[in-house]
A and B are shown apart, each in its own frame.
Chain A
Amino acid sequence: MGEAMTFKIKVNDVEHEVDVDSDIPLLWVLRDVLGMTGTKFGCGRALCGACTVHVNGMPMRSCVMPVGDLGESSVTTIEAIGDTPIGEELQKAWLDLEVVQCGYCQSGQIMSAAALLASTPEPTDHDIDTAMAGNICRCGTYVRIREAIKQVAQTSQGD
């Protein structure tokens, strides 16, 4: 059991104070303490990607990230990714191509896709496959996810 104390964490540019044990996963804090349920619990073992958030812009599996390790880091979740240009384009592409089936994994998929496009604006198929390999979709929407990422890359090129 980690040490219980009050942590200040920055989520979507808003500072929150949470009174939890230091080893509580960030996902639990987001969902159960802050009520931000857009980030999903899938496997709890960093194997499925449903819980992906950004920590200082980097995709992280929040189900295995102890909240006590966050420090001054800035967390971005699916609730705010649409406020970024890439996130907004991704959400539009997801709707244009009707990517979603059941939807459970899709917040994690979009967070991983946004991180990929932020660092690699024109990803190859290999880039997409490797970056998205940790995001499992039980409905098998992989082909539409790839197309949506490419649509955003092409749109961004035209800007």
Chain B
Amino acid sequence: MRVLLTAFGAGLMVLAAGIGLSLANPETGGNALKPVSAFSEITDESERSAAIFTEAGKVIQHPRCLNCHPAGNRPTQGEDRHPHIPLVLRGAGGFGEVGMQCPTCHQRANVDLAGVPGHPLWHLAPIEMAWQGKSLGEICVQIKDPERNGGMSLEDLIHHMSEDSLVGWGWNPGKGRSPAPGTQEQFGALIKAWVETGAACPDL
């Protein structure tokens, strides 16, 4: 019996390792953000604003952000944004259904030993903040709409993007995951400059 159980445990480990391989495919290049100053030569303020947002979009449309802004009730994971394994559903407040709530597996910090990401408030963005399947222009319009951004003003949005620690997890995703481009500070500076130049959006 002991041999059988050991073999079973080993089988599960092989299964998990196989799944893990699909998770651990970090991108290694193109991981910088242009500073706000790089857009100073665009004389038309609206065009400059849209260009700045497009740069910030490298973060917004990165898998670290999109995976928890699904259009349905199931998060995605990995660089290829495959459906979350195991099955978890949105549940109340985006924290998962009873029995499979986010903290059942996701701890207060990343657990690199197991490759499981973590944060004290790990949860899905509300469905009205769904970004997956939308163009950057559509996300831009949505992100300015208090009915679809959690009731935030543009000032609140700057603060959220610059300082929220769950947003900040995108730059500290743990072993085996590519971080969002640049730094949260650089991203926050882009969002601030975008707001200050009129919060114009790229084409839909």
Partner-B contacts on A (CB < 8 A): 23, 25, 40-50, 58-61, 63-66, 69, 102, 104, 112, 115-116, 119-120, 127, 130-134, 136, 138
* Contact status A130-B8, CB under 8 Å: no
A-B contact count (CB 8 A): 105
* Contact status B101-A42, CB under 8 Å: no
Q: A46-B116, A64-B111, A116-B99 given as contacts; is B86 within 8 A of A133 (CB)?
A: yes
* Contact status B85-A47, CB under 8 Å: yes
Interface: B19 (CB within 8 A): yes
- Which of B4, B8, B105 is within 8 Å of A46, CB to CB? B105
**Which residue of chain A has the shortest Cβ distance to B115 in the bound complex?**
A45
**Which residue of chain B has the shortest Cβ distance to A41 in the bound complex?**
B9
* Contact status A104-B103, CB under 8 Å: no
Interface: B204 (CB within 8 A): no
Chain B: residues with Cβ within 8 Å of the partner, total of 32
7 closest A-B pairs by beta carbon, nearest first, are A131-B99, A43-B16, A46-B105, A133-B87, A130-B97, A134-B86, A42-B12
Q: A25-B113, A48-B12 given as contacts; is B107 within 8 A of A66 (CB)?
A: yes
Q: A44-B114, A45-B116 given as contacts; is B104 within 8 A of A104 (CB)?
A: no
Q: What are 8 contact pairs spanning A and B, CB under 8 A?
A: A43-B12, A60-B103, A120-B98, A130-B98, A131-B100, A134-B86, A138-B11, A138-B12
Alpha-carbon distance between A112 and B109 when the two chains are bound, in angstroms: 23
**Which residue of chain B has the shortest Cβ distance to A59 in the bound complex?**
B104
Interface of A is mostly: loop
Interface: B20 (CB within 8 A): yes
Given contacts A44-B13, A64-B116, 7 further A-B contacts (CB under 8 A): A43-B12, A46-B116, A48-B15, A50-B12, A120-B98, A130-B89, A133-B100
Alpha-carbon distance between A90 and B39 when the two chains are bound, in angstroms: 64
* Contact status A131-B97, CB under 8 Å: yes
Alpha-carbon distance between A23 and B113 when the two chains are bound, in angstroms: 9
Interface: B38 (CB within 8 A): no
* Contact status A69-B108, CB under 8 Å: yes
Interface: B152 (CB within 8 A): no
Provide the residues of chain B in CB contact with A47, threshold 8 Å: 15-16, 19, 85-86
- A103 → chain B closest CB, angstroms: 8
Provide the residues of chain A in CB contact with B12, threshold 8 Å: 42-43, 48, 50, 136, 138
* Contact status B113-A138, CB under 8 Å: no
Interface: B88 (CB within 8 A): yes
- A122 → chain B closest CB, angstroms: 12
- B122 → chain A closest CB, angstroms: 12
Provide the residues of chain B in CB contact with A40, threshold 8 Å: 9
Provide the residues of chain A in CB contact with B108, threshold 8 Å: 69
- A50 → chain B closest CB, angstroms: 7
- B176 → chain A closest CB, angstroms: 11
**Which residue of chain B has the shortest Cβ distance to A131 in the bound complex?**
B99
Alpha-carbon distance between A52 and B116 when the two chains are bound, in angstroms: 16
- A78 → chain B closest CB, angstroms: 15
* Contact status A45-B107, CB under 8 Å: no
Provide the residues of chain B in CB contact with A102, threshold 8 Å: 4-5, 8
CB contacts under 8 Å to A, within B115-170, are: 115-116
Alpha-carbon distance between A115 and B88 when the two chains are bound, in angstroms: 16
* Contact status B87-A130, CB under 8 Å: yes
- B11 → chain A closest CB, angstroms: 7
